[in-house]
Structure 1
Amino acid sequence: MLAAMSASALSPRSQGAACARSSGDACPGTLRLHRADDGALARVRIPGGILTVAQAEALHEAARRLGDGDVHLTSRGNAQLRGLAPDCGPELAQVLGDAGLLPSERHERVRNIVASPLSGLDDRELPDIRPWLTELDRLLCRSENATALSGRFLFALDDGRGDVDALGADVTLIADSTTALLRIGDSDTVLRLPATDAPRAALLAAEAFLDAARTSGAWRVKDLPDDTRAALLARIAQQLTGTTPAQVPRPASATPPTPGPVPAGHHNTVALSAGVPLGRLGPAQWQLLVDTARRCAGELRLTPWRGVIVPGAPTDRAPGLLAALDAAGLITGPASPWTGVGACIGRPGCAKSLADVRADAAATVGPPGRLPVYWSGCERRCGHPHGEWVDVVATPDGGHRITVVRDDDSPHDPVNVPPGTTSLATAVATARTTT
């Protein structure tokens, strides 16, 4: 019987405390490459996941010319290029810089901003947070203090639907009619402030965090002592006018965009939502997405759930465009067996991985379940989802440990599946249907 958490499963608080380290922040970027078993790795920050066609083409060119040809999506709506030569840094920076993907070399690793991917696109009539995104990125790139942020520090801009608010960012802005809510970490206490002050407030919050983190060496808000986290919001309120506190619990889990057509606020276009199996886009798939975007509104949006949104598809052409994406192997409907399935890079790309977890995921993929499932090659669980999910971790004996993760942290015994058995697919499917 599967239940919520175990001592060996992921614990957000213990994992966060482990991140306050004395060593330097080794988080990769575009200018700081990470050496992996399959070559060097570059992580390209894409605030809000928004790419123009020209920028998407530049990523494609960099992957084709310098890497393994694929574009790998991350759980923060960024892109990774793998299989790079260790000395390709200057050429990579030139290609991406010419496309506007490197506006500030000193800030390139701190431009970690996720945003509601359907903001301004669907028929829910929620505020469009893209102006916040543009202004926050501008303020970040002009702030000398912000260069001290860790490459793990995360901003989230939520248009009020609760999707990226659930991702556990360090600083979250939530649109609320004509005002904004500012959340620090996972606190239920927020500051209500004028919407026009929201980007500046987010930067002030990050700079206040840096001051508080000087003695502890914390990289993220969750690494700070409880009393220090509680004092942050009060300090920010003192620096802003017209703020009031409010109680707004953070959503326990997010609802990613449903694959398929997304009705727009007007009748002649829709947005196309497509999932990407295991977050890996081959050259032909990426080129198809670029060509599709060119035929629509000229934009791609990468989501924190390793998906892609193509805005502005003419309604009469949407079925054909989705059919082409489906034929290319993307997820275009909720019935796809790949819906909700994710995995870290695993072997052979990562030396720490105990298994080729992507092959394991592919071998056991079945009907979609109520819960997402994420396969990890080791206890680090790089890129794991938030909220409620099925945690499948490779074990040193060649088997797997399966745990249903919930926010309540209640202890339980995980299910251990030994190597060489045929019960792994059944165990994963059972976990995904747990209520």
Structure 2
Amino acid sequence: MPPTPDATAPGAAVPDRGRADACPGALRLHPADDGALARVRLPGGLLTARQALALADAAEALGDGELETTSRGNVQLRGLASHCGAELAERLRAVGLLPSDTHERVRNIVASPLAGLDGHGFADVQAWVRELDARLCASDWAAGLSGKFLFALDDGRGDVAAFDADVTLIAGPDGSALLRLGRAAHGRPVPAGQEVTAVLDAARAFLHALRESGRKAWHLREVPELLPAGPVSVPAFAGAAPAVGVVRTVGPFPTVGRLATPAGGAVAGGLSVGMRFGRAGAAQWRELAGACAGEIRLTPWRGAVLPGAPADRLPALAAAGFRTAPGSPWERATACTGLPGCAKSRTDVRADAARALDAARALDAAVAGSLPVVGLPTAGLPVHWSGCERRCGHPAGRWVDVLATGQGYRVTVNGPAAAGAAVDVTNEEMAEAVAEARRTTK
């Protein structure tokens, strides 16, 4: 699922950003009820097989034996001992997962995971990812960005552009590209070959504008009056052609299974697999590394794309516990950590959600057998279960909010900003209520 937006709706008061953000990192461990948590930034979700194996080994040796993918395509290790930070850092450095101690939390880059694999899109955004990451780590000023500041590199299909990142680069046909700031409805053309420079210029101008104005902010959208037509202009926009509207198309998202490719197309193809709530054990990760053809792309939808991997690896991946068959109620279903990992949660939301989703899958099978029962739809709005009002990890855009209340769950379309009525349900009533909400189209 896409990154969780802050509650800064238009016209709302800007949160107090006078303190540093508390985002965990690979060097800054976060204390949780199930032990310390480390978040390893993976720009573009990119991993080699060797790096994936190193993460599996670290999770097994230092943590609870599982790895958790995030809504930005990063990886978290949980259940860590508070004193293991130095050993974890050395393990990460040995495989190139910690290229800069000073910049490790600002390497927040999402990119279209299917670029170059399915015949859609206009650019090799993975090349942009690698250049942006290297130049971020080499720029002293970039260490001043918040650990929440997000870059999105979209190959033109609209998947990660829909996240409304702080700085979004959208590829167009014939080598063109648009740069969009925050949630702006317009973007500015970027000269060919200057795409990454334009992205960095925009981020640097944001920091400069904050210093000049004395404002405090983590995200560009919190201070829209400063950019691009505020006290400081964005260098990337200087002398640029007039702004053009950004077409808000979304998709296609990676669906699990073999990647569909056009007949006779010169694209790599490969496989896509899903993980239940983004979690997979060390043994599963080793299976993933063994199935890939050299590269793994973790997705913001808590799955993994394996470029060039052959279809005959799907049965082994399915046997390892990955989702490999499309059309399941588990598609686009996520949940926060919940109990016992988070003390703020009112219940074990993942266990409740898993029971509802597994029951829905059985009900869908019954529907296929012509029995008069209704389960969660295999398509429709994304759904997210939360243990408290923080709604950690929820999707952007329209989604079904399933919030624990202490007596059951409250089901609402489009999260806390929903205009529709909320429905309070028991655990037993939840599946039907969520099914109805996921079918909502207005």
Give TM-score scaled by structure 2 length. 0.88
Task: Output the CA distance in 2 between the equivalents of 1:21 and 1:262.
Answer: 42
Partner of 1:427: 433
DSSP-derived class of the 2:269 partner: strand
Task: State the SS of the aligned residue for 1:191.
Answer: strand
Q: Which runs of 5+ in 1 are unaligned?
A: 1-8
* SS of structure 2 residue aligned to 1:82: strand
Q: Distance in 2 between matches of 1:127 and 1:10?
A: 30
2:241 aligned with 1:244, yes or no? yes
Q: Distance in 1 between matches of 2:308 and 2:355?
A: 36
| Change beyond 3 A, Cα 1:160–1:267 | closer
- The structure 1 residue matched to 2:348, chosen from 350, 356, 360, is 356
Quote the Cα distance in structure 2 between the aligned partners of 1:230 and 1:135. 24
1:42 and 1:81 in contact (8 A); partners too: yes
Give the alignment partner of residue 102 of structure 1, picking from 75, 98, 103: 98
Where does residue 6 of structure 1 map in the other structure?
Answer: none
Following superposition, the deviation at residue 146 of structure 1 comes to 0.7
CA distance in 2, matches of 1:286, 1:248: 41
CA separation in 1, counterparts of 2:133 and 2:97?
12
| One-letter amino acid of the structure 2 residue matched with residue 398 of structure 1 | Q
1:399 equivalenced with 2:408 (yes/no): yes
Distance in 2 between residues matched to 1:202 and 1:105, nearest whole Å: 22
1:124-148 residue CA offsets vs partner (Å, 9 max, x unmatched): 3622112211111111001111101
- Counterparts in 2 of 1:247-258, with a 5 A limit? 247-249=244-246, 251=248, 254-258=251-255
Sequence identity (%): 52
Higher relative contact order (Cα pairs below 8 Å, separated by 6+ residues): 1
8 Å contact from structure 2 (residues 152, 160) kept in 1: yes
Structure 1 segment 107-186 matched on structure 2, within 5 A: 107-124=103-120, 126-177=122-173, 178-186=175-183
Query: In the alignment, is residue 216 of structure 1 matched against residue 215 of structure 2?
Result: yes
Is the contact made by 1:253 and 1:388 (CA closer than 8 Å) also made in structure 2? Answer: no
Query: Displacement, 1:335?
Result: 1.6
Q: Deviations over 1:333-355 (max 9, x none)?
A: 32223111100111100111111
Offset of residue 270 of structure 1: 2.6
2:289 corresponds in structure 1 to 290
Structure 2: how far apart are the matches of 1:10 and 1:144? Answer: 27
CA distance in structure 1 between the partners assigned to 2:339 and 2:74 by the alignment: 21
1:183-224, Cα deviation, whole Å (9 max, x unpaired): 000101211011311111111111111122342211011211
Rounded Cα–Cα distance in structure 1 between residues aligned with 2:318 and 2:15: 40
Report the TM-score, using the length of structure 1 for normalisation. Answer: 0.89
Residue matched to 1:84 = 80
Corresponding residue for 2:330?
A: 338
Shift of 1:19: 4.3
Matched, 1:381 2:391: yes
SS of 2:58's equivalent in the other structure is helix
Q: CA deviation at 1:111?
A: 0.2
- The residue type equivalent to 2:393 in the other structure is G
Aligned partners of 1:16, 1:277: CA distance in 2, in Å? Answer: 35
Is the 8 Å Cα contact of residues 348 and 356 (structure 1) preserved in structure 2?
A: yes
Amino acid of the structure 2 residue aligned with 1:424: M
Q: Is the CA contact 1:21–1:217 (under 8 Å) kept in the aligned structure 2?
A: yes
Aligned-partner SS, 1:430: helix
CA distance in 2, matches of 1:233, 1:272: 48
Q: Specify whether residues 311 and 17 from structure 1 end up closer, same or farther in structure 2 by C-alpha distance, changes over 3 A only.
A: farther
Distance 1:131 1:232 in 2: 32
Preserved contact between residue 46 and residue 79 of structure 1 (Cα < 8 Å): yes
TM-aligned CA distance change 1:406 to 1:82, over 3 Å: closer
Shift, 1:39, TM fit: 0.3
What's the Cα RMSD here? 2.4
Q: Please list, as runs of the form range in 1=range in 2, the aligned pairs for 1:317-336 lying within 5 A after superposition.
A: 318=311, 320-336=312-328
CA distance in 2, matches of 1:383, 1:64: 24
Describe the SS at the equivalent of 1:29. Answer: coil
* Distance verdict in 2 for CA 1:90–1:410, change over 3 Å: closer
Alignment match of 2:196 (pick from 196, 199, 215): 199
8 Å CA contact 2:33, 2:342 repeated in 1: yes
CA distance in 2, matches of 1:10, 1:93: 29
8 Å CA contact 1:20, 1:219 repeated in 2: no
In structure 2, how many angstroms separate the alpha carbons of the residues matched to 1:180 and 1:413? 41
Counterpart AA for 1:426: E
Q: Deviations over 1:33-87 (max 9, x none)?
A: 0000000000000000010111111111111110111110000000000000001
How many residues are treated as equivalent by the alignment? 414
In the alignment, which of 228, 239, 248 is matched to residue 226 of structure 2? 228
8 Å Cα contact 1:355/1:398 also seen in 2: no
| 2:420 aligned to which of 412, 425, 435 | 412
Contact 2:70–2:302 (CA<8 Å) still a contact in 1? yes
Residues 94-140 of structure 1 deviation map (CA, whole Å, 9 limit, x = unaligned)? 00011000111000000000000011222236221122111111110
Distance 1:302 1:128 in 2: 16
Q: Report the AA paired with residue 325 of structure 2.
A: G
- Match of residue 56, structure 2, among 55, 60, 69: 60
- Distance change >3 Å, CA 422–CA 406, structure 1 → 2: closer
Alignment of 1:290-309 (within 5 A): 290-293=289-292, 297-309=293-305
Partner of 2:76, secondary structure, is strand
Cα deviation for residue 255 of structure 1 reads 4.1
Task: Give the secondary structure class of the aligned counterpart of 2:229.
Answer: helix
CA deviation after TM superposition for structure 1 residue 249, in Å: 3.2
AA in 1 matched with 2:225:
D
Separation (CA, whole Å) in 1 of partners of 2:230 and 2:63: 42
Report the counterpart of residue 365 of structure 2 in structure 1.
none
SS in 2 for 1:429: helix
- 1:125 and 1:189 map into 2 onto residues whose CA distance is 20
What CA distance in whole angstroms lies between the structure 1 residues aligned with 2:202 and 2:239?
Answer: 16
